[in-house]
Structure 1
């Protein structure tokens, strides 16, 4: 049997994890029972069986079904204690998977109606992140994300709010939801506000839409990182641009397959991106619905794409370098990667 190192012990940064989607299945079920929320049958079956729901979001109907399940799970988070629990459990899962730094992505407007407004909602989330970071030792920050399905003026409001709380743990500004809806340039002013306030630009692009979506995020939103970005593999010139500019793609292999972007794990272009010199940060996206967390994404790279331990260590380094972690924290994590690689490989796969 091949001797390999335990990937859950490889220090890494987690840069693509959505707030609601980070929840444990048991937590959703318990909160639904607590508040008398009737979950869709497909979601209940998936959460109780341990098997992720059957999803395919490459058409509008499929995306609507995915969003319906997601919104149902979100409706179970109603009080500050629920927020604290969600954040703590997400951190515990990340620590278990070897993460030393987590940037969790959230649209606070989703929770504002139940938490007293937009500002109180973000403050509750940031307080939970700060407390959890101190209690677990995991470096944690927040990336505030606007919703493509809403008006660009809403995004500007969120960008201003994100900048206002940059000294409380907000490090970046994103743009999520179906990238086939809403042009990137419609949100250019929101991203300009965020950049002028010192925040990272990290919009979603190049997943459900093709290479043009990646190009728009670069040209119109001046992305420092790309949520997903895998469709850039279809355009050699775009790959070269990403590599030369050092734009990190937050690649989420399990979700790419679960949503039907690629038919099987071997089809996700990890090798194409890696060999083109495009930096990557593997992420779990929405473990609640896709069934796998951070270390599992590295397992996919190992088992389905033939990444060696040396190459997996380089992926971990790329995630750390692309993070908003302070220099001292980065140095510590990078040293940990070297230490992991220096250990003798253990027997069997992790």
Structure 2
């Protein structure tokens, strides 16, 4: 009896500690986001009044055209998601994208919460946990490779625009990312490496938790087989969809500056997109809000951009790729919840 009470107290304490930690994390993350956004114009040598004057020039029909390009990018990415989970329709892929992004853009470290939501949705649609695990592995790998691909293109343009300074401050911070990708590719290339990798992680986990019975030595090779099967079957729509998505992201960024009357060369825009992709790999704030804007604006100003114009253009771009995803994803999630609760409600009434 005493042991049971002690375990209950321990469990309650851990739950309370976890909630307290989440609240503190949320407060710190929100404060960091607000602070970075407030300081954004000053960091690049401008003011909010100057930025507002530039943004006030955008006509409503130009915003509508930008929205079409934004939607086109999301639709292109749905091809990647549909090919990563055999049996998933593009409409459902778009739903996963919007709802997951909405959660990730609101909550601190919201990527995990968005993944959990997407897992629940795919389970409701009848997909197995193993299928979702393969889907998550494939989409994560493709997204990271795509981001690194944009960075590689930008680095190739360094001699033409002298943009090395845009990457010098961040290159060492993100060195583990390509290393991790190389390890994943190595694991995918050889089943023996996959088994050895899983066994090594098992040992590492048991070093810290002796009572934990990890079975990654068998799970990792199974996941490798699933990932390779999906990649072999869907590499064409994945490639085309991802390239179209990146092209439309670049087009949206270009158009955001064009409607403001700011002309930036293609190499400069590619560099800006690459810096933003790098910064989004470490989501310190929800959706990298604040970090993305400050880092990318600083890079563009270093490349000769006007501080007020650069800040306004980036805010317009993020208005679509970050801010608009929250209400649109929220409405999409509400519709999904409503449509998937109605059958259960009818069954309860019939009973």
Q: Could you tell me the TM-score, scaled by structure 2's length?
A: 0.24
Structure number with the higher helix fraction is: 2
TM-score by length of 1: 0.24
- Rg (Cα) greater in structure: 2
Structure with bigger strand share is 1
